[in-house]
Amino acid sequence: MIKHFLSQQFALFLLTGGIAAAVNFGSRIIYSQRFDFSVAVVLAYCTGMLVAFVLAKLFVFKRTINSAAQSVAAFVFVNVLGAAQTWLISILLAFYVLPALNFTWRLEEVAHFFGVLFPVFTSYLGHKHWSFR
């Protein structure tokens, strides 16, 4: 299992995923100007997911036996699971964990940052073995 995470492919996934995560994180700040935090996290995840698909297809998982439609469907499914993880971690941190620790500095940004990081490993395995197999 560890060999998956010590590969050039995983390094590229981290790089492209980092770009998508930055888009996710930045767009959440913009979405928060119009929507409450919970909705903004979901909208930002969708924005990041679009960027992630394009970058993953172009740079990480270039060869696949899946059709484009299969890849998109599987990618969305894996990312729905990742979105649920991101949302759950972000909400738990923002409304329960960090306030219980008296942490108030940039509460939503810190909570969302850790929420975005959480599904990195599960998403890579899902995309490698299902979305772009």
Are 91 and 4 in contact by the 8 Å Cβ rule? The answer is: no
**Predicted pLDDT of residue 62:** 86
Inform me whether the pLDDT recorded for 96 exceeds 90. yes
SS3 sequence, the chain?
A: CHHHHHCHHHHHHHHHHHHHHHHHHHHHHHHCCCCCHHHHHHHHHHHHHHHHHHHHHHHHCCCCCCCHHHHHHHHHHHHHHHHHHHHHHHHHHHHHHHHHCCCCCCHHHHHHHHHHHCCHHHHHHHHHHHHCC
Tell me the pLDDT tens digit for each residue of 39-52. 998 899 899 989 99
The alpha carbons of the chain give a radius of gyration, in whole angstroms, of 15
**Predicted pLDDT of residue 66:** 87
**Predicted pLDDT of residue 47:** 95
Please give the model's pTM, rounded to 2 decimal places: 0.74
